[in-house]
């Protein structure tokens, strides 16, 4: 099996920017983005972005929703559903690690969001990773630590803190 893995082509950002349609590149592996998400998925994405934007207390941070590229390095380019970035984007993409990433699960993305992206976000030091299942209305919040992501406990509202900044999501408003 290891020999087979070595035969797989490892793509780069130069390849990625030439492709038609929406793609993500994780550790050099190309992932086609699913067709347009269901309306409920998009409604949850919108409500989360609205909550974060309403509660964000940080002068240099902004809330963004997909599709927007975060180019981690030449072999990793992702499009989080919702992210808070503390930098101005270049003309084409962000380069710095976002403070918070939210992925809203769908049938087409759940496996990737729960495994490959989870590991990538943990490895590159995303401070907060939120995984939302719009169908079951279940939410998992992970905070990065020296030991990797640690699951955070919360009720209906979760507060995200980082130096001189904060944001909140009230999930009763997201799912109402």
Buried b (16+ CB within 10 A) or exposed e, 37-59: beeebbebbebbbbbbeebbeee
pLDDT at 142: 98
Interval 86-126: pLDDT, tens = 988 788 999 999 999 999 999 989 999 999 999 999 999 99
Task: Name the pLDDT band for 1 (thresholds 50, 70, 90).
Answer: very low
The mean pLDDT value of the chain amounts to 93
pLDDT at 5: 53
Reading across the β-sheet that carries 128-133, which strands appear in turn? 62-65, 82-85, 100-104, 128-133, 138-145, 148-152
| Homologous superfamily, domain 34-174 | tt1808, chain A (3.90.1570.10)
């Amino acid at each position: 099996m290891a020999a087979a893995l070595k035969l797989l082509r490892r793509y780069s950002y130069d390849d990625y920017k030439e492709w038609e349609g929406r793609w993500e590149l994780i550790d050099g592996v190309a992932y086609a983005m699913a067709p347009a998400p269901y309306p409920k998925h998009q409604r949850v994405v919108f409500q989360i972005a609205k909550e974060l934007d309403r509660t964000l207390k940080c002068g240099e941070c902004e809330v963004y929703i997909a599709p927007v590229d975060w180019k981690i390095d030449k072999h990793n380019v992702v499009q989080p559903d919702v992210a808070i970035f503390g930098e101005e984007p270049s003309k084409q993409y962000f380069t710095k690690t976002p403070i918070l990433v939210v992925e809203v699960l769908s049938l087409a993305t759940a496996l990737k969001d729960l495994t490959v992206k989870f590991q990538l976000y943990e490895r590159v030091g995303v401070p907060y990773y939120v995984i939302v299942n719009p169908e079951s209305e279940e939410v998992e919040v992970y905070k990065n630590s020296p030991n990797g992501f640690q699951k955070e406990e919360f009720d209906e509202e979760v507060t995200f803190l980082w130096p001189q900044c904060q944001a909140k999501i009230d999930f009763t408003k997201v799912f109402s």
